[in-house]
Chain A
Amino acid sequence: MPDFQLIAAQLLNGVALGSILALVALGLTIIFGLLGFVNFAHGALFTIGAYAGWLTYTKTGSFVAGIGAALVSCFIVGIVIERILIRLYYHRPKEDQILVTFGLSIVLVEIMRAIFTGKSQLLSTPSWGSGVVNLAGIFYPQYRLEVIAIVGVTLVVIYFLIYKTRIGLVVRAGIDDALIVNILGIDVKRTFLLVFALGAALAGLSGIIDGPLLAVNPDMGTDVLIQSFVVIVIGGVGSFGGAVLGGLIAGEIISIATVFVPDYAQVLLYVAMAAVLILRPQGLLGVEGRA
């Protein structure tokens, strides 16, 4: 029987890992939940954010500047691809949305490879993130605990934006009934654009936040996309709480499984995802009818 200390450490890790997964899935769940649009380019946007953040951090020495760069660049990329491509697809079948964003992700990743080569770039944790914290005998990376805080703040900000502001109200109304909102004279197209760009920006944010943990290279986003699906499936589509819950559950599944059956930890996640999709497809906190 593994010792209590190890299990406690893994439980903590589950929360931290879960926060990272939740952050990564957040951009996807906003676009999917609010616009009903499946964005298979989510992993590519994650990668763009990581590169933009890395470039800025390397040039300026400020990780916070890197975060800003990731947010801004992905927001802009989101606007560009929405205007050129995505807006043509809102009324096309889901399959077409999947296909076009899948193609788009190939294009974006190959552009990254052409600019930066396939070599992994050095992205370290910021100075305020290095170090190990001792929590009652459990040693845990300071940076990961800080990520929990960052994710928390981000969720609060997003929640506030969507549910407590006038823009958010328009967004939600526009999603519910675009025609009426249009008749009322409010520009629905701009709303959709903003939501998409916001989702893209969040993908980029997760890229720079997760970047110091991973190898920064053009292919880093592939796993991210699948992980994000797992999270929102388990937690529930169209729900921020779902993204958080899904992330935490996924994080705990991996962490606890590593104690007992380490080489099956990843697989258990897919099993869990399949199980949820079969038994309760809208996920734990999801709203039925979306997608």
Chain B
Amino acid sequence: MIAVRSRGSRALVALGLMAVFLVAFPFVMPLIGGDVSLATRVLVLGLFGLGVDLIFGFTGLLSFGQAAFFGTGAVVTAYLLREHLVPNTLVGLALGTVAAAIAGIVVGSQSLRQVGVYFAMLTIAFSQLFFFLENAPLKAFTGGESGLPNVPRAAIPLGFTTLDFSSALGTYAFIAIFFFLSYMLMRRIIASPYGAVLGAILENPERAAAVGHDVLRYKLIAFTIAAAYAGLAGGLLGVFQGFVGPDAFSIDQSGQIIVMTVIGGAGTLVGPLVGAFIWLFLQSSLQSVDALAGVWKLILGIVFVLLITGFRRGVVGGIITFLRRRKKPLEADIATDAA
């Protein structure tokens, strides 16, 4: 876990770098063979990953069911928007996020009593339940296996005019703003006393409980926040690609975001963003090489296994450790051992 500060010069540097990155990203992408839409997708998954990193990287909870909340936010937002039940995109996103958070409370309150493998298995069971609900009884709302197409693009009516974000760059900007604000909020959460307790729970839950913290309550709050982030990301997915389908609920989706978080580096907040970039970029560019078209997933799988085995802190974690070591070798080692 990398310590995060919410105020002071460190915070400003981090936020500044993020802002610079967000502005530059869509313009750099085409130069390296990507494009704006891929950049937008990276942000959507990076936002999803902020929540996953909160519960996994900072609290040590490995959930294989986050797709349930991603999907919930996606279909609620998409349904409200395409049926014109809400006045604008923002309200649709807000309601999708709330729906996902409620789902998070329901699932979390039952699952978090368990730890480790049992917890993971519970999240899988609940996730399968959500997948079933999406496909069958609720298919009038979710579109079932066909999904919900024709989700309107982002637009904010201001009375005298409407801000239309429907172009590729406009959609990117809309989502980048959400990502920046969500990132800033998450940094605040981590740096707060609440976040410190999460860190204590990550390190030694028994000790944290002994000191008097209601561990279950802290975990539940974290889990709900993560669900809300997942729901917001899901809603943004629909707005971005104009479509949400059952894949948003699948166990593949849950697995994928975990892989991205680990590859990028858990406990760094930007890890999932980096991991999403690596995964999506490799997926896109490996396919251009004809010989590798059918085996790109195999290559990514091998990379993933190698990273977990040898490079546990992921790309970002590894970079941060490297930078620390250069500045203050001994303290860096102590800090990293503690993490």
Contacts and interface: CB of A to CB of B under 8 A. Distances in A.
Q: Do chains A and B touch in the complex (CB under 8 A)?
A: yes
B253 to A, nearest CB: 13
Contacts of A291: 116-118
Pick the most buried of B64, B111, B124: most chain A CB atoms within 10 A of its CB. B124
A100 B125 contact: no
Interface string A280-291: 010000000001
Contacts of B308: 96, 99-100, 103
Interface string B234-252: 0000000000000000010
Interface residues of A, number: 36
A274 B122 contact: yes
B305 A94 contact: no
Contacts of A230: 125
Nearest to B122: A277
Given A95-B62, A98-B62, A273 B258 contact: no
Interface in A237-285: 263, 266-267, 270-271, 273-274, 277-278, 281
Nearest to A108: B301
A94 B309 contact: no
A142 B26 CA distance: 62
Interface of B: 56, 60, 62, 64, 110-111, 113-114, 116-118, 120-122, 124-126, 128-129, 132, 136, 251, 255, 258-259, 262, 294-295, 297-298, 300-302, 304-305, 308-309, 312
Contacts of A222: 251
B117 A38 contact: yes
Contacts of B117: 32, 38, 94, 98, 291
B118 A270 contact: no
Interface of A: 32, 38, 85, 88, 93-96, 98-100, 102-104, 106-107, 110-111, 113-114, 222, 226, 229-230, 233, 263, 266-267, 270-271, 273-274, 277-278, 281, 291
A114 B126 CA distance: 33
B294 A88 contact: no
B301 A99 contact: no
Given A110-B295, A110-B297, A98 B120 contact: yes
A123 B122 CA distance: 34
Contact of A266 (B110, B118, B132, B312): B132
A259 to B, nearest CB: 19
Contacts of B118: 233, 277, 281, 291
A226 B128 contact: yes
Contacts of A278: 110, 113-114, 122
A98 B114 CA distance: 16
B132 A103 contact: no
Pick the most buried of B118, B120, B124: most chain A CB atoms within 10 A of its CB. B118
B125 A270 contact: yes
Contacts of A96: 308, 312
A96 to B, nearest CB: 6
Given A226-B124, A274-B110, A277-B111, 5 more contacts: A85-B305, A94-B62, A106-B298, A107-B302, A278-B113
B203 to A, nearest CB: 12
A95 B308 CA distance: 11
Given A107-B305, A110-B297, A270-B129, A229 B121 contact: yes
A159 B297 CA distance: 39
Given A270-B128, A273-B125, A104 B305 contact: yes
21 contacts: A32-B117, A38-B117, A94-B116, A95-B62, A98-B64, A98-B117, A99-B62, A102-B259, A103-B259, A106-B298, A106-B300, A107-B301, A107-B302, A110-B301, A114-B298, A226-B128, A274-B110, A274-B122, A277-B118, A277-B121, A278-B110
B91 to A, nearest CB: 32
B3 to A, nearest CB: 20
